[in-house]
Amino acid sequence: MESTDAPRTNKALEGFDKLPNSAFVRVDTVAALRNCSRATTWRHAKQGLIPAPRKLSAGITAWNVGELRAAMAGGQ
């Protein structure tokens, strides 16, 4: 199973460093940044260990890139 996750992880992180702080990313990118599963990412958001995602529309929830960068720089 590890080999099937690797391409998705690499794809999710492509271009992250070039995104402006005002951009938003989905759960796969956040999970790849934190090297954890999607379920753990949601759990960490609920526990306040990472910034809360924002509901952008009916089926779209995403994290703000600037908030993620600040949290990672602060050791979260």
| Amino acid 12: pLDDT | 74
**pLDDT-based confidence at 74, cuts 50/70/90?**
confident
Domain that holds residue 35: 2-73
Alpha carbons 32 and 41: distance in angstroms, whole number: 9
Instruction: Give the pLDDT confidence of 3-51 residue by residue, as tens digits.
Output: 455 555 567 788 899 999 999 999 999 999 999 999 999 999 999 999 9
Overall domain count for the chain: 1
Measured between its terminal Cα atoms, the distance across the chain in Å is 27
Burial of 53 (0-12, 13-18, 19+ CB in 10 A): buried
Q: How confident is the model at residue 1 (pLDDT cuts 50, 70, 90)?
A: very low
CA atoms in the 13 A half-sphere facing the CB of 5: 10
